[in-house]
Amino acid sequence: MKKRILAMLLAGSMVFGLTACGGGSTATPAPEGSAPAETTPVESEGAKTVKVGLICIGDENDQGYTYNFIRGKEAVTEALAAKGINVEWLVKYNIGEDASCEEANIELAEEGCDLIINNSFGFEDHMLKVAPDYPDIEFISCTNQASAVDDLPNTHNAFANIYEGRYLAGVVAGMKMQEMIDAGEITPEQAVIGYVGAYSFAEVISGFTAYYLGAKSVCPSVTMKVSFVGSWSDATLEGNAAQALCDEGCIMISQHSDNTTPATAAQSAGAFHTGYNNDMISIAPEASLIGTRIDWSVYFEYAIEAVANGEEFDQDWCHGMDEGAVVMTALNEDIAAAGTAEKMAEVEEAIRTGALQVFDTTTFTVDGAELTTCMAIDTDGDFTADSEEAVFDGAFHESYFQSAPYFTTRIDGIEWLNEAF
């Protein structure tokens, strides 16, 4: 398999936009060493059994990033049991993006895992130190990229087209703002979104750009302000950023961060909110409209079943609504604009079938001009400028050449209040 790392080249200038990932928890601090393993017992005799290790940067108490992985774990265990495959899980929680991750991978390998999944971007370097010593074990780094370009056949990357879900969440937000404009509650100029981002990395940029384009498709006057907090998971920073955005006049808050504080801050300020990784209606019923998340059980089922059957599986995997890997949380019908559910169904079907391209270049401009070229650099790991054109057929094709996002273009209508790398 030919593997690639991508960078961006826009209007003759190279912008390196390799992906980032999120995941963390402030609920329980990461220990200095590996956390205790959690084992799911085998339930049925006579079935194939796969021992799977899962290394998490947080725990299920974050109600966000790691919690979403645990949901995937539980769902796939049930799905594979129906196929005659038992999954024995060994889970390590609250592992740091440091030497403790390397230790966790070694411990799980020594405990006989057939497959080890690392759930955070910062885990990959540590995982890659261990994988060569255990060639018979498959190692997966979620939301990452290096495994797709290394020379190790037992390392893998996986992500999902979460930008599709963000676009759809943006449609929900835009419909609410347009309803407020039509009712005379706000002026068109007051339709301003505030977005709390973790870092100014490709994954975050891709996500909030998709969200903005979704909102703009139904509320043409919308604009966006983005505040980066420099952390994947800091409840206080996220809440403060959301509050500051509300103070600047934003009436809609969204986020690429792991905590629920942007939702509660939005509700306290009288703004609306759309979330990520989890349904946040219960904690902000007057503000939270909807959320989007990756359903990791889809990929887990694909990879674990392949291991159970002794089959190879992709070193770089990415799907979205086409395979149910990107889903929406419940719509808050009590506060959503009239007709939102029907519009969501229409847009989701168009995304799923490919009739709607999220980054359709006719729907946005860059410095007043349509984006006509944006080169994805085929590097084979060494940044040699053997280029691949990411703009074709009238759209920028995100995650087409690799699973990790690489959209880093700053489009008109979105104001960056700061940067954080």
Q: Is the pTM of this model over 0.95?
A: no
- pLDDT by residue, tens only, the chain of 421 residues: 333 333 333 333 333 333 333 333 333 333 333 444 454 444 555 689 999 999 998 887 766 788 899 999 999 999 999 999 999 999 999 999 999 999 999 999 999 999 999 999 889 999 999 999 999 999 999 988 888 888 999 999 999 999 999 999 999 999 999 999 999 999 999 999 999 999 998 999 999 999 999 999 999 999 999 999 999 878 999 999 999 999 999 999 999 988 899 999 999 999 999 999 889 999 999 999 999 999 999 999 999 999 999 999 999 999 999 999 999 999 999 999 999 999 999 999 999 999 999 999 999 999 999 999 997 754 444 333 345 789 999 999 999 988 989 899 999 999 999 998 7
Domains of the chain in start order, with CATH, are: 8-160+296-319 (3.40.50.2300), 162-294+328-372+408-416 (3.40.50.2300)
> Three-state secondary structure along the chain?
CCCCCCCEEECCEEECCCCCCCCCCCCCCCCCCCCCEEECCCCCCCCEEEEEEEECCCCHHHCCHHHHHHHHHHHHHHHHHCCCEEEEEEEECCCCCCHHHHHHHHHHHHCCCCEEEECCHHHHHHHHHHHHHCCCCEEEEECCCHHHCCCCCCEEEEEECHHHHHHHHHHHHHHHHHHHHHCCCCCHHHCEEEEEECCCCHHHHHHHHHHHHHHHCCCCCCEEEEEECCCCCCHHHHHHHHHHHHHCCCCEEEEECCCCHHHHHHHHHCCEEEEECCCCCCCCCCCEEEEEEECHHHHHHHHHHHHHCCCCCCCEEEECCCCCCEEECCCCCCCCCCCHHHHHHHHHHHHHHCCCCCCECCCCCECCECCCCEEEEECCCCCCCEEEECEECCEECCCCCCCCCCCCCCCCCEEECCCCC
